């Protein structure tokens, strides 16, 4: 008997399965995750409790969940513009860093200010910084057709070194015992928190507003329509007379501005100053968030909460299970593997005869 496996593009492409597959991926990840806990000689049920339930079983935990989800959601919402257009901006980490440098720089420049305009100015410069950094790969792509994946990735490391230069050099806090960090931002430059004693800040509202705007842009505007068309076929988009190069440029700028905004929120919110490690890989993890949320604004909000939970769970796992917090990365990697894998079954029909 000879079995032939044939793979065909599905003609009955299902929207239901399209939105179901992230759930399948999450379930598969949990299943595999319990194997990992078993290998490490830990009880899977107990570990899952510590990882996924206890971190959000009190108000502090829930606040922290939003603190982590906010930058992820904002960056991923921005990235969805690029990804919808089939443009791969993978340099959000760098754009986030540049946003923190620009916006944070304003905070340090006016460090004795008490003006209510300081924070809005910092937010504006945060977005400008991110957009500026994203405009470099965008310009290189539109002018010279340079591969945006590689340039945006390379620029990430350049941005990290620039931040490093500032915090060990000109912006180092003279009263900071020589540590590589800036002086704290003035109170007027700090992002207001929503509740006293918790770190959840007004960035959450920005995430919700950006989600709302994005939803409208994708569903009700010509720009959103153009994005979808050129994402499906750049040739069709050019044939229809859309200015494809402009689309590339705008999507890059939008995603860069969002990442920059997220970076500024991090430094003027939970952190309060500039130092080397302002982001635990948010810019890269947001790529997972965007894919897991299926580039859908509401999906992205949901997936940002889930991925934020892997950060929190990993911190608790380090405290209580004595395993490195990098275990969160294992879950993030797994969930993306499974999501990409399950997509295959939605896109193609496999038959064995």
Angstrom distance (rounded) from CA 89 to CA 152: 6
Q: Where are the alpha helices (DSSP H) in 57-185?
A: 59-84, 92-109, 118-144, 148-168
Residues 6+ apart with CB under 8 A from 12: none
The distance of closest approach from Cβ of residue 247 to other proteins in the complex, given in angstroms and rounded to an integer, is 19
The distance of closest approach from Cβ of residue 63 to other proteins in the complex, given in angstroms and rounded to an integer, is 25
Residue placing its CB nearer to other proteins in the complex, 63 or 255: 255
Residues 83, 286 contacting (CB under 8 angstroms): no
Q: What does the per-residue mask of binding to other proteins show for 64-103, with x meaning CB under 8 A?
A: ------------------------x-x-------------
Angstrom distance (rounded) from CA 77 to CA 258: 8
Longest dimension (CA), the chain: 82
Residue placing its CB nearer to other proteins in the complex, 73 or 153: 153
How many of the other CB atoms lie within 10 Å of CB of 174?
Answer: 7
Residue placing its CB nearer to other proteins in the complex, 117 or 161: 161
Q: In this chain, which of 13, 31, 157, 205 binds other proteins, going by CB under 8 A?
A: 157
Angstrom distance (rounded) from CA 250 to CA 139: 11
Q: Where are the alpha helices (DSSP H) in the chain?
A: 15-39, 44-48, 59-84, 92-109, 118-144, 148-168, 203-220, 222-232, 234-239, 244-266, 282-292, 297-316, 327-347
Q: Is residue 326 involved in binding other proteins (CB under 8 A)?
A: yes
Q: Is residue 288 involved in binding other proteins (CB under 8 A)?
A: yes
Contact window for other proteins (CB under 8 A) among 12-20, 96-104, 192-200, 277-285: 277-285
The distance of closest approach from Cβ of residue 160 to other proteins in the complex, given in angstroms and rounded to an integer, is 8
The tokens describing 88, both together, are 């791969």
Q: Is residue 149 involved in binding other proteins (CB under 8 A)?
A: yes
Q: What does the per-residue mask of binding to other proteins show for 162-191, with x meaning CB under 8 A?
A: x-xx--xx----------------------
| Torsion sign, CA atoms 108, 112, 113, 114 | positive
The distance of closest approach from Cβ of residue 333 to other proteins in the complex, given in angstroms and rounded to an integer, is 3
- Kindly determine how many residues on this chain lie close enough to bind other proteins according to the rule CB under 8 A: 54
Within 99-118, the residues that bind other proteins by CB under 8 A are none
Binding site for other proteins (CB under 8 A): 6-9, 36, 40, 88, 90, 140, 143-147, 149-151, 153-155, 157-158, 161-162, 164-165, 168-169, 281, 284-285, 287-288, 291, 322-324, 326-334, 336-337, 340-341, 343-344, 347-348
């Amino acid at each position: 008997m000879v079995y032939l496996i044939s793979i065909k593009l599905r003609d009955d492409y299902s929207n239901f399965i399209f939105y179901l597959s992230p759930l399948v991926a999450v379930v598969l990840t949990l299943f595999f995750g319990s194997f990992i806990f078993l290998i490490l000689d830990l009880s899977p049920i107990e570990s899952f409790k510590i990882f996924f339930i206890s971190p959000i079983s009190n108000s502090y935990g829930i606040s922290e969940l939003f603190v982590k989800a906010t930058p992820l959601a904002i960056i991923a919402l921005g990235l969805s513009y690029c990804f919808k257009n089939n443009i791969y901006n993978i340099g959000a980490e760098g754009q986030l860093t540049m946003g923190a440098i620009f916006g944070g720089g304003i905070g340090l420049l006016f460090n004795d200010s008490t003006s209510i305009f300081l924070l809005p100015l910092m937010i504006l410069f945060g977005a400008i910084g991110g957009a500026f950094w994203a405009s470099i790969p965008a310009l290189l792509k539109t002018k010279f057709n340079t591969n945006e994946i590689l340039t945006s990735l390379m620029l990430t490391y350049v941005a990290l070194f620039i931040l490093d230069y500032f915090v060990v050099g000109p912006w180092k806090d003279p009263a900071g015992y020589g540590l590589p960090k800036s002086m704290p931002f003035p109170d007027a430059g700090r992002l207001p928190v929503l509740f006293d004693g918790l770190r959840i800040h007004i960035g959450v509202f920005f995430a919700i507003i950006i989600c709302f705007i994005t939803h409208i842009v994708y569903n009700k505007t010509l720009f959103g329509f153009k994005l979808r068309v050129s994402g499906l076929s750049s040739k069709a988009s050019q044939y229809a007379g859309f200015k494809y190069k402009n689309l590339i440029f705008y999507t890059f700028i939008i995603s860069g501005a969002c990442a920059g905004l997220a970076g500024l929120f991090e430094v003027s919110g939970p952190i309060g100053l500039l130092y080397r490690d302002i982001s635990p890989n948010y810019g890269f993890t947001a790529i997972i968030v965007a894919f897991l949320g299926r580039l859908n604004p509401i999906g992205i909000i949901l997936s940002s909460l889930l991925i934020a939970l892997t950060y929190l769970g990993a911190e608790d796992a380090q405290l209580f299970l004595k395993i490195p917090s990098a275990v969160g990365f294992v879950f993030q990697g797994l969930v993306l593997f499974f999501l990409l894998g399950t997509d295959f079954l939605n896109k193609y029909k496999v038959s064995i005869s």
